[in-house]
Amino acid sequence: MKTKVILFGALAAAMSLPLSAYAADDGFYLGFDVGQAHYSGVTGSLAPFGGISHVSDSDTGYRFTGGYQFNRYWGAEASYVDFGQAEANVDVTTPSAGSFAAKRQAHGFVFAGTGTYPFNDTWSIFGRLGGVMGHVKVDATGTGSLATATATQTSSDWKVTYGAGVNWKLAENWIVRAGWDQYSSLGNQNKTGESDVNLASIGVVYRF
């Protein structure tokens, strides 16, 4: 909740600044986004024994992006994105006492095409579609009756990603953007398990 308040507060502050016209339609750009990453359905993969005492499925995520805008409508970009981690802790008493703690971490490299629709010289919406080479690591530690659950698993797999958002032109070469992206089924079903991860973010873009 705190992250969402920060995102909307930053966007509101940016919208209160003076508006200006767009720079050239084509060219290279760099971007940075930060926001809240959410791991969907991690309970089963992180805490498979039931008796869950604590689950944290959201963390701060961030993305560095480099891209090229071919014209005002179409572009391509490459990104590095980090989703932080999800955590779960389990305590069981039957058939005998034991505990289980697990962390799931994910990051990846993204290659995507982008489409932009400008409403005017200040506002536009965008979408992106591409692939992510997702790297997932799961660390599990068990004690007592769950000691055999101790293990570390990793996976690296290509998966689909897509997203959408809105751009606001802040200055001659600066854009503020807010968006939502889905990274589908990150992980490997036979190793780390799979989980959708989404990132709600706000960021800035500098166009050369």
Of 126, 139, 129, the closest CA to residue 184 belongs to: 129
- Of the listed ranges 35-44, 94-103, 105-114, 157-166, the least confidently predicted one is 94-103
Question: What is the pLDDT at residue 202?
Answer: 98
What pTM was estimated for this model as a whole? 0.81
**C-alpha to C-alpha distance for 22 and 71, rounded to whole angstroms:** 13
Mean pLDDT score, 60-83: 97
Per-residue pLDDT of 121-150, as tens digits, reads 999 999 999 999 999 999 888 777 667 667
Q: Which of 54-58, 89-93, 168-172 has the highest mean pLDDT?
A: 168-172
H-helix or E-strand containing 5?
helix 2-15
**C-alpha to C-alpha distance for 14 and 11, rounded to whole angstroms:** 5
Which one is the CATH code of 2-207: 2.30.33.40, 2.40.160.20, 3.40.190.10, 3.30.9.10? 2.40.160.20
Q: What is the mean pLDDT of the chain?
A: 85
Of 167, 164, 161, 156, the closest CA to residue 200 belongs to: 164
**Residue 100 or 49, more confident:** 100
Cβ–Cβ < 8 Å for 106, 83: yes
Let me know how long the chain is: 208
